[in-house]
Chains A and B, each alone.
Chain A
Amino acid sequence: MFLSVIFFSDSWAEPRILVLKSHDSSPYEQTLAGFQNRLSDSELDPDYHIISFDSQDKENFLQDSLLSFPSQLVFTLGTPATQAILALPERPPIVAALIFSAAELRQQENVTAVVLAQPADIQWHYLRHLLPDAHDIAIIYNPEVSQMTFESLQKLAEKDNIELKAIRVSASKDLPAAIRHLSFQLDAFLVLDASVFNSAAVQQLLLFSFRNRIPLVGLSAHWVKAGALYALDWDYYDIGKQAAELALEILQRHKKTSALPPLHPRKVRPVYNPKTAGYMKLKLDTNGDTRLIEVMQ
């Protein structure tokens, strides 16, 4: 109750925003820069209290921070920071960014986000455009995270008379079987989320792709560098701006977060690995409306 009094007080001329960063790496910095610039453009000059989040006693730390810096909004960058603030019983409105999917936010109140997961239509569009001959396509996903995306993809595929092969991986122990069940006759396979993967599992997928010359559509430029054919990477600065727009809705128009559903990134940054493409004897259309960006291995 005390916290809520503090959080919703209007006694300050400028809003106060608590920024929680999971990391200090470039994507997080770019996102924060986009967020801050967008707010500045809207003639809002909030006070920021930026905390780089690490593995220390998160709950007490966050409570102390909120006590010392009463905020109207918490801007979180990354899953660890978001999960930590969500663990608090009382909290100001939260705008999250750089979290993979909105599934994690379900059952949570007072929170909205710009998720990293690309919308199904975008993904299908790029898949069809870049691999037009692929008809036997497998989709690897965790039903708990990407069931809806898979279903959307399946509908889009059906329109193109393509049947997608669903490989569901709910836990890490399902991975070996999933990989074993991948057919050597596949034309491509696509990973929707990495919620049950670790780097070794990703390496196994990449090895399977490489050994069988089956293009793997990865999740990020990092995957592409490691050997995936292409991925839909993000414009972190723009994600920051998207998050800032959500914050403006909360701070200026006083909208409830429940009225602000999580957003997908509005800009796609498609990246590909020319070596992988060359190895698999694929010729990608890099100059069409997809405008692929080359990622060297």
Chain B
Amino acid sequence: MKSFKSCSLRCRLSLFNVLLIFITAVSIGMILTYTFITREFEARYDYNIELARLLAKNSELAVYTEQQQALQKLLSPVRHLTGIKSITIIDRQGRPLASFQNSNHPPDTVASLLWQSWVKTSGQDFTLIIQDIVSDDQQDEASLFSTNHSLKDQQKTIGQLVLETDLIYFQDLLYQAFIRGLLITSLILLISLFCATFFSIRVTRPLNELVQAAHSIISGKATKITRQPHSKELWELVNAFNKMSEWLENYHVEIKEYQRQLERQAFYDELTGLGNRNMLKEHLKSAISYAKRHQKIAAIMFLDLDRFKYINDTLGHSIGDALLQEVAQRLRALLRDCDNIARMGGDEFIIIINDLNSYHLQAKQDVSRIAKDIGKKLNRPFSIAGHELSCSFSIGIAFYPHDGDDTEILTRNADTAMYQAKSKGRNTYSFYDPALQQHDKRRLSLEHGLKQAIALNELFLCYQPKVDLKTGKLVGAEALLRWKHRDKIISPIEFIPLAEETGQMIPIGDWVLSTVLTTLREWRNSAIVADDFYLSVNISSQQIFQQNFADQTLAIVNDILPNQPGLLELELTESCLLKPTEHSLLAFNQLHDGGLRLAIDDFGTGYSSLSYLKQFPLDMLKIDQSFVRDCLTDPSDATIIRATIAMARGLGLEVIAEGVETAHHIDFLLQEGCYLIQGYYLSKPLPAEAFVQFVRHYSQHPVHAVVKRQ
């Protein structure tokens, strides 16, 4: 069975044909043999009957006249006839008059059985034929008259002729028929096999061509079959195959094109057209192997745009993308053909500088020069969609083989160097120093710790009071997030961006809200603060643009302090408002309608568009501490403060100054009409317990003297 399944179509077709032909030929052979035997038997039967009749007729006179010799003579030529076993002529009384008996060879068993079967089925048994010998009697007068009727009546049986057929004849006939049937069957088989093979070849040849053509297609060579088969079905098959081949050819071209696109996508950055991370790996490997072969040094420069995220968030992604394209263009124009540049993702680029001097110091100098050139080139403002954007870049540099001998290590070390550059104040470059690797380890440790900070209760809030100078009353406080990790206070400047990068800002923000409101409820319940005392929290842009932020915030508020409007203030940066959308407008209105106050933090440090001030339901502007700090010495800062106060007044908003550290600051602010203050003059940010103590002893605070003096 297995071998049959593995047979080709032609082989199977041929086998099927052979089987069919064999059955047909054997059937025809059997039918012909049977017909032949039947006809031969019938002929033999007629022959024997006629022979007996003829002999009876001829023996009439001899029987009538009892001439035994004549009868014997009559029979003598007959005895040589085939198929006659014996003939006996007897008279009316049954006495034998003449006879002969041929040699008696009994037929074989098969022939005897077949003969008996034949006699049973056909009903023709001519083994023994008895023929009456009749004579027209002339003894009556009727024979003298010439009428047939009278003559017939005169016929009398005067004897009998007994003819016995030799069964050897049947046996011979059977063998003859068998041989003939065999010959006919063989002939039919031969002719049919020839025809079947011929037609099988005619059918399978186009199929083989189809198979070959299919193999050609598989090997990428589209082939059409030009030979037209004879049968309609095969013609349609070939036609369909040719159409399929044509379609596959087109499809192959499309696939190639897709492959090219995929390769491009796999190795190139779609936005900038530069190589991507994969391409960088390949280029870096090549650079390393080249440097290895030629005893050269290769440098890898990790370049990151400072504050790109800010631009992206404030001006939109399209502006950010255009900026990246411009940067890529400038970098490409700056570098040599033998150098490679790739975009790692986001605002990160990597530049491979090949073929550097084999002296490390010299190589460092050369790369420094290139870094400076890059800095100069990229520091020039970018003009994108009507915006004049000035960017700075931080570049980290690592060398092969000094800072690593494989792509991963070199890239990581360049990245580390880039962070070092950023920590040095941005817009500079830095070479990799093994000590810098500690920074990476710390960053990883902080990232891991931040994920568990809430669960481990490492986060806590400090509260910095806000005072109304008109009344000297403690009106509120700003809650500031702090993280105590492994007994060390981690700066918010370090962990807040990390939380934003790692997506931890949302759960942390929710925790801050819950904690602030719970604390306020306790303070109110304990009568530590007045009923109109409010707390403010800083909200990051990630939180604002979070789906359902307003619903979630209001749900928390209503859960902890229901029906108490004005007790919670959300401090937003200008970047949260610079890109007003239908969603953000709706969210702010919903929050404001829910009784929450909205304040703009660090007002004046962001971009110059102030149209958002009239679009959003704001309650307060917070003058950035950088303006307050130098307002007494820097007229520009004083001017900004005055303008801000005037604008707030004009818009009907409250205004508060943060970063108030001295009584002179208070004097200036009072003079300019700003009565709400926050800063170290009042208190540094205090943990909740310390803040309670501050509130309890607030009546003794020096600010009251300033209020009285006023």
Q: Is the beta-carbon distance between B149 and A78 smaller than 8 angstroms?
A: no
Q: Is the beta-carbon distance between B144 and A198 smaller than 8 angstroms?
A: no
Q: Which residues of A contact B60 (CB under 8 A)?
A: 198, 200
**Residue A172 is within 8 A (CB to CB) of chain B in the complex:** yes
- Report the bound CA distance from A62 to B139 in whole Å: 23
> Residue on A with the closest CB to B156?
A198
Q: Is the beta-carbon distance between A175 and B138 smaller than 8 angstroms?
A: no
Q: Is the beta-carbon distance between B145 and A27 smaller than 8 angstroms?
A: yes
- Report the bound CA distance from A60 to B158 in whole Å: 27
User: With A23-B149, A23-B153, A25-B147 given, is the CB distance from A201 to B65 under 8 Å?
Assistant: yes
> Residue on A with the closest CB to B135?
A198
Q: Is the beta-carbon distance between B61 and A222 smaller than 8 angstroms?
A: no
CB within 8 Å of B: which A5-54 residues: 22-27
> Residue on B with the closest CB to A233?
B144
User: With A172-B64, A173-B65, A176-B65 given, is the CB distance from A198 to B146 under 8 Å?
Assistant: no
Q: Which residues of A contact B141 (CB under 8 A)?
A: 78-79, 98-100, 116
> Residue on A with the closest CB to B57?
A200
Minimum Cβ distance to chain B for residue A104 (Å):
10
- Report the bound CA distance from A100 to B158 in whole Å: 23
Q: Is the beta-carbon distance between A194 and B143 smaller than 8 angstroms?
A: yes
> Residue on B with the closest CB to A25?
B147
Q: Apart from A173-B65, A195-B139, what are 19 other A-B pairs with CB-CB below 8 Å?
A: A22-B142, A23-B142, A25-B150, A78-B141, A79-B139, A80-B140, A172-B64, A176-B70, A197-B139, A198-B60, A198-B137, A199-B135, A199-B143, A200-B136, A203-B61, A221-B146, A222-B143, A222-B146, A223-B144
| Chain B 145-165 near chain A by CB (<8 Å), digits 1 or 0 | 111011101000010000000
User: With A194-B143, A219-B144, A222-B146 given, is the CB distance from A199 to B65 under 8 Å?
Assistant: no
**Residue A67 is within 8 A (CB to CB) of chain B in the complex:** no
**Residue A241 is within 8 A (CB to CB) of chain B in the complex:** no
Q: Please pick, from A23, A116, A172, A222, the residue contacting B65 in the complex, using a CB distance under 8 A.
A: A172
From B138, B142, B151, name the one whose CB has the most chain A CB atoms within 10 angstroms.
B138
CB within 8 Å of A: which B106-147 residues: 135-147
Q: Is the beta-carbon distance between B61 and A200 smaller than 8 angstroms?
A: yes
- Report the bound CA distance from A116 to B149 in whole Å: 20
- Report the bound CA distance from A173 to B68 in whole Å: 11
**Residue B605 is within 8 A (CB to CB) of chain A in the complex:** no
**Residue A147 is within 8 A (CB to CB) of chain B in the complex:** no
> Residue on B with the closest CB to A179?
B65
| Chain A 118-130 near chain B by CB (<8 Å), digits 1 or 0 | 0000000000000
Q: Is the beta-carbon distance between B144 and A116 smaller than 8 angstroms?
A: yes
Q: Is the beta-carbon distance between B146 and A220 smaller than 8 angstroms?
A: yes
**Residue B270 is within 8 A (CB to CB) of chain A in the complex:** no
Residue contacts A-B, CB under 8 angstroms, 27 given: A23-B153, A25-B147, A25-B149, A78-B140, A78-B141, A79-B141, A100-B140, A100-B141, A175-B64, A176-B65, A176-B67, A176-B70, A194-B138, A196-B139, A197-B138, A198-B61, A198-B64, A198-B136, A198-B137, A198-B138, A199-B135, A199-B138, A199-B143, A200-B60, A200-B64, A219-B144, A223-B144
**Residue A4 is within 8 A (CB to CB) of chain B in the complex:** no
Q: Which residues of A contact B142 (CB under 8 A)?
A: 22-23, 25, 78-79
From B66, B141, B146, B151, name the one whose CB has the most chain A CB atoms within 10 angstroms.
B141
Minimum Cβ distance to chain B for residue A72 (Å):
26
Q: Is the beta-carbon distance between A79 and B67 smaller than 8 angstroms?
A: no
Q: Which residues of A contact B135 (CB under 8 A)?
A: 198-200
Minimum Cβ distance to chain A for residue B357 (Å):
148
User: By the criterion of a CB under 8 Å from any partner CB, how many residues of chain B are at the interface?
Assistant: 25
| Chain B 571-605 near chain A by CB (<8 Å), digits 1 or 0 | 00000000000000000000000000000000000
- Report the bound CA distance from A57 to B60 in whole Å: 28
Q: Is the beta-carbon distance between A204 and B138 smaller than 8 angstroms?
A: no
Is chain A's binding surface mostly helix, strand, loop or mixed? helix
- Report the bound CA distance from A172 to B482 in whole Å: 162
Interface residues of A (CB under 8 A from B): 22-27, 78-80, 98-100, 116, 172-176, 194-204, 219-223, 225
Q: Is the beta-carbon distance between A175 and B147 smaller than 8 angstroms?
A: no
User: With A25-B150, A198-B60 given, is the CB distance from A172 to B66 under 8 Å?
Assistant: yes
Q: Is the beta-carbon distance between A26 and B147 smaller than 8 angstroms?
A: yes
> Residue on B with the closest CB to A194?
B138
Minimum Cβ distance to chain A for residue B95 (Å):
13
Q: Which residues of B contact A197 (CB under 8 A)?
A: 138-139
- Report the bound CA distance from A203 to B57 in whole Å: 13
- Report the bound CA distance from A80 to B156 in whole Å: 14
Q: Which residues of B contact A196 (CB under 8 A)?
A: 139
- Report the bound CA distance from A219 to B145 in whole Å: 10
Q: Which residues of A contact B138 (CB under 8 A)?
A: 194-195, 197-199, 201-202
> Residue on A with the closest CB to B140?
A79
- Report the bound CA distance from A220 to B141 in whole Å: 10
- Report the bound CA distance from A202 to B143 in whole Å: 11
Q: Which residues of B contact A194 (CB under 8 A)?
A: 138-139, 143-144
Q: Which residues of A contact B61 (CB under 8 A)?
A: 198, 200-201, 203-204
Q: Which residues of A contact B140 (CB under 8 A)?
A: 22, 78-80, 100
- Report the bound CA distance from A100 to B145 in whole Å: 12
From B140, B143, B144, B149, name the one whose CB has the most chain A CB atoms within 10 angstroms.
B144
Q: Which residues of A contact B158 (CB under 8 A)?
A: 198
Minimum Cβ distance to chain A for residue B510 (Å):
138
- Report the bound CA distance from A240 to B144 in whole Å: 17
> Residue on B with the closest CB to A231?
B144
Q: Please pick, from B70, B139, B150, the residue contacting A23 in the complex, using a CB distance under 8 A.
A: B150
- Report the bound CA distance from A194 to B137 in whole Å: 9
Minimum Cβ distance to chain A for residue B139 (Å):
5
- Report the bound CA distance from A27 to B136 in whole Å: 19
5 tightest Cβ-Cβ pairs between the two chains A and B: A199-B136, A220-B144, A200-B61, A222-B146, A197-B138
- Report the bound CA distance from A219 to B139 in whole Å: 12
Minimum Cβ distance to chain A for residue B639 (Å):
168
> Residue on B with the closest CB to A224?
B146
- Report the bound CA distance from A80 to B137 in whole Å: 12
Minimum Cβ distance to chain A for residue B676 (Å):
163
> Residue on B with the closest CB to A173?
B66
> Residue on B with the closest CB to A197?
B138
> Residue on A with the closest CB to B148?
A25
Minimum Cβ distance to chain B for residue A76 (Å):
12
> Residue on B with the closest CB to A27?
B145
Q: Which residues of A contact B65 (CB under 8 A)?
A: 172-176, 201
Minimum Cβ distance to chain A for residue B71 (Å):
12
Q: Which residues of B contact A80 (CB under 8 A)?
A: 140
From B66, B142, B149, name the one whose CB has the most chain A CB atoms within 10 angstroms.
B142
- Report the bound CA distance from A203 to B135 in whole Å: 12
- Report the bound CA distance from A46 to B144 in whole Å: 31
> Residue on A with the closest CB to B143?
A194
> Residue on B with the closest CB to A176?
B65
Q: Please pick, from B64, B67, B145, B149, the residue contacting A222 in the complex, using a CB distance under 8 A.
A: B145
- Report the bound CA distance from A95 to B339 in whole Å: 161
- Report the bound CA distance from A27 to B60 in whole Å: 28
Minimum Cβ distance to chain A for residue B677 (Å):
166
- Report the bound CA distance from A176 to B144 in whole Å: 21
Q: Which residues of A contact B67 (CB under 8 A)?
A: 173, 176
- Report the bound CA distance from A194 to B136 in whole Å: 12
| Chain B 421-449 near chain A by CB (<8 Å), digits 1 or 0 | 00000000000000000000000000000
Minimum Cβ distance to chain B for residue A221 (Å):
6
